[in-house]
């Protein structure tokens, strides 16, 4: 046990025990967080071809992504890596249950585990089971015992889509020796922006280990759009095939990745945003955390009849809404938010009216949807500055009146709103390509590992 383990025992340990034993937050596989990865991972990651002199292991990439956003950003990178390195396996770890569910959709449940708590023994146990030849961490998810164990085993670590805020830099500066050791333990840093690269240098990362590759998040913008893609969901929610700017009569407004307080603020703003004589819009609420669904349903029921997406089925009737009278829909399924954004006339992205730094507004913007956000956007500083500077993204204050006025303006002038969304999409398309650049660098790193083997 090292001094870090002692510190963790007083901080991480009680937190994990509470969620493991009391809340059940991580589900039945929570013990994987102690490094107890199932035997199937060990046997699969060390698949043998022959015996004796012919024995060979398939090299394994360990890709770690904390939660949903990081998993979505890293999924294409992981798949591109496998396409470039056909003899490699991949194992994906996440920190949250929701992130795990998304990762399983991309890579299969047989390839996904929980990331171990950063106790030295737990980390070593996970390394013994997964036996990676290369580790890739998304954004800035680096832990000292993990990095020390990788260095001890001679396993290179790359940080993809690297970002570090001034706040994180200040916090790390409070533990300079640990921060310096962590900075030096990573082989390659693929920074999203020159600003992030500069902060990494101030942290102590050598210049030769940093490369500005751009942000993977721009690559979530599809190169082409399927005009039919959203019509299923428009029919499902009783809005008809035509979008509002095409002459449709019922608007579909989506509030995605919302946090406590945002659902109430949004629904209150919507209640006052409908133009005189205008049709009541259909509203889809997509809470960021599924465990809040019951709470959000109670809140939303104060504004009208609520129907859960899972109860609507997959065959909307030709005449409209399968839940007559419902004007608010609660997204309680996984993997459908992007398709529902595609069906929307307008979008609001949460985590931004409250101080959470905002969530991925590039998803609706990339689909050409006029998009509203609140003032808290520090998770997406660079793309926010880009789109806000051009006037292609609209930010409203924390008060509900600005949100109400913005929604009303766009509902009254849908053609102008749609044009704004298209301009945002056109700008984002110019910034694609970061995933390919990172995959090319990982291919070289993987090649050196294969050659060493």
For 420-453, the pLDDT digits (tens) are 999 999 999 999 999 999 999 999 999 876 555 5
CATH topology identical between 25-221+432-452 and 231-429: yes
Token duo for residue 90? 């991949």
Token duo for residue 431? 């910034």
Question: Which of 254, 177, 217, 250 lies closest to 65 in space, CA to CA?
Answer: 217
Domain ranges of the chain: 25-221+432-452, 231-429
Architecture of domain 231-429: 3-Layer(aba) Sandwich (3.40)
| Sign of the torsion formed by the C-alpha atoms of 104, 107, 110 and 111 | negative
Backbone φ and ψ for 397, nearest 5 degrees, come out as -70, 175
How much is the pLDDT for 46? 44
Can you say how many angstroms the Cα of residue 102 is from the centroid of all Cα atoms in its chain? 9
The C-alpha torsion from 289 through 293 and 297 to 299, rounded to 10°, is -40
Could you tell me whether strands 134-138 and 60-64 are parallel, antiparallel, or unpaired per DSSP bridges?
parallel
Establish how many alpha carbons lie within 13 A of residue 295's alpha carbon, considering only the half-sphere containing its beta carbon. 13
Question: Which of 370, 403, 236, 216 lies closest to 311 in space, CA to CA?
Answer: 236
How much is the pLDDT for 140? 85
How much is the pLDDT for 45? 40
How much is the pLDDT for 48? 40
How much is the pLDDT for 13? 66
How much is the pLDDT for 301? 96
For 93-141, the pLDDT digits (tens) are 999 888 999 999 999 999 999 999 999 999 999 999 999 999 999 998 8
How much is the pLDDT for 449? 65
Percent of the chain with pLDDT over 70: 89
| Positions of the chain with pLDDT under 50 | 21, 43-56
pTM to 2 decimals?
0.78
Token duo for residue 103? 């990762």
Question: Which of 241, 226, 243 lies closest to 344 in space, CA to CA?
Answer: 243
Backbone φ and ψ for 287, nearest 5 degrees, come out as -60, 145
Q: What is the CATH number of domain 25-221+432-452?
A: 3.40.50.11720
Can you say how many angstroms the Cα of residue 405 is from the centroid of all Cα atoms in its chain? 29
Whether residue 219 contacts residue 76, with contact meaning beta carbons closer than 8 Å, is answered with yes
How much is the pLDDT for 366? 96
Residues 6+ positions from 298 with CB-CB distance below 8 Å: none
Whether residue 327 contacts residue 304, with contact meaning beta carbons closer than 8 Å, is answered with yes
């Amino acid at each position: 046990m090292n001094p870090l383990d002692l510190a963790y025992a007083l901080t991480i340990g009680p937190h994990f025990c509470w969620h493991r034993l009391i809340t059940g937050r991580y589900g039945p596989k929570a013990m994987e967080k102690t490094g107890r990865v199932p035997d199937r991972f060990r046997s699969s990651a060390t698949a043998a071809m022959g015996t004796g002199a012919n024995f060979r292991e398939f090299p394994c990439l360990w890709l770690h992504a904390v939660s949903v956003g990081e998993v979505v950003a890293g999924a294409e990178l992981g798949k591109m890596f496998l396409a470039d390195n056909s003899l490699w396996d991949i194992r994906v770890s996440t920190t949250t249950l929701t992130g795990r569910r998304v990762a399983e959709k991309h890579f299969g449940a047989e390839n996904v585990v929980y990331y171990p708590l950063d106790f030295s023994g737990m980390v070593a146990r996970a390394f013994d089971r997964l036996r990676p030849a290369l580790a890739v961490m998304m954004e800035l998810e680096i832990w000292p015992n993990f990095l020390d164990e990788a260095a001890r085993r001679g396993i290179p670590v790359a940080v993809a889509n690297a970002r570090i805020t001034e706040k994180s830099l200040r916090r790390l500066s409070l533990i300079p020796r640990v921060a310096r050791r962590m900075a030096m333990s990573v082989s390659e840093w693929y920074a999203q922006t020159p600003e992030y690269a500069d902060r990494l240098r101030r942290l102590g990362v050598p210049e030769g280990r940093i490369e500005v590759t751009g942000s993977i998040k721009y690559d979530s913008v599809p190169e082409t759009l399927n005009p039919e893609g959203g019509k299923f969901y428009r029919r499902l929610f009783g809005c008809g095939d035509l979008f509002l700017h095409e002459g449709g009569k019922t608007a579909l407004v989506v509030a995605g990745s919302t946090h406590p307080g945002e659902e109430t603020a949004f629904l209150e703003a919507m209640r006052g945003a409908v133009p005189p004589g205008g049709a009541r819009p259909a509203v889809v609420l997509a809470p960021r955390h599924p465990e809040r669904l019951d709470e959000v349903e109670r809140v939303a029921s104060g504004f009208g009849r609520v129907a859960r997406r899972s109860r609507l089925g997959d065959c909307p009737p030709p005449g409209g809404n399968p839940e007559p009278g419902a004007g608010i829909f609660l997204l309680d399924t996984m993997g459908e938010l992007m398709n529902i954004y595609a069906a929307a006339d307008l979008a609001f992205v949460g985590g931004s009216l409250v101080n959470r730094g905002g969530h991925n507004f590039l998803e609706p913007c990339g689909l050409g949807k006029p998009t509203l956000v609140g003032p808290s956007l520090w998770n997406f500083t660079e793309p926010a500055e880009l789109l806000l500077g051009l006037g292609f993204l609209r930010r409203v204050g924390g008060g509900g009146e600005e949100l109400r006025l913005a929604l009303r303006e766009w509902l009254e002038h849908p053609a102008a709103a749609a044009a704004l969304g298209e301009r945002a999409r056109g700008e984002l398309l110019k910034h694609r390509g970061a995933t390919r650049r990172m995959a090319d660098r990982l291919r070289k790193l993987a090649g050196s590992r294969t050659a060493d083997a």
